[in-house]
Structures are given as structure tokens and as C-alpha cells.
């Protein structure tokens, strides 16, 4: 009984690690997407760097 409960805790930890890893990947992909958008659309905007930073922060906090 003890052995099986230990392994299920281990499994839960693995699942949690996978979820965290997936969230990190999503956050990075969105950040890259914003970088691309910024390079295309905000080139002429004086405040583009500030806008980009705020948007990235908001998305990463949301994830």
C-alpha cells in the first residue's frame, strides 16, 4: 500500500512538472509572437518598446 501511494505522488509531481513546462512554452511562444508583431506594426511608434514590455508582462502573468 505504501509503495503504491508513493508512486502516485511521484506521478502527480511529474504531471505538475509537465503542466508548468507547457505553460512556460506557451508564454515564450506568445512573447515571440509579440516581438514579431512589434517588429512589423509598431516600427513607427515612439513607445513601441514600452508597449511590448507591458504586453509581455501581462500575458506571462496571465499564464
* Gap between the Cα atoms of 35 and 55, Å rounded: 10
Model confidence at 63: pLDDT above 50: no
Express each pLDDT in 13-60 by its tens digit: 888 888 888 877 787 787 777 777 767 665 555 555 555 555 555 555
How many structural domains are present in the chain?
Answer: 1
Residue 58 within a domain = yes
* Gap between the Cα atoms of 4 and 2, Å rounded: 6
| pLDDT of 51 | 56
* Gap between the Cα atoms of 23 and 2, Å rounded: 32
| pLDDT of 19 | 81
Range of the domain at 43: 25-63
Residue 63 within a domain = yes
Residue 37 within a domain = yes
Residue 2 within a domain = no
Residue 52 within a domain = yes
Residue 46 within a domain = yes
**pTM of the complete model:** 0.31
| pLDDT of 24 | 78
Amino acid at each position: 500500500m505504501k509503495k503504491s501511494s508513493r508512486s502516485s505522488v511521484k506521478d502527480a509531481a511529474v504531471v505538475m512538472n509537465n503542466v508548468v513546462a507547457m505553460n512556460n512554452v506557451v508564454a515564450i511562444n506568445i512573447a515571440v509572437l509579440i516581438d514579431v508583431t512589434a517588429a512589423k506594426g509598431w516600427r513607427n511608434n515612439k513607445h513601441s518598446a514600452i508597449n511590448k514590455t507591458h504586453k509581455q508582462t501581462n500575458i506571462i502573468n496571465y499564464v
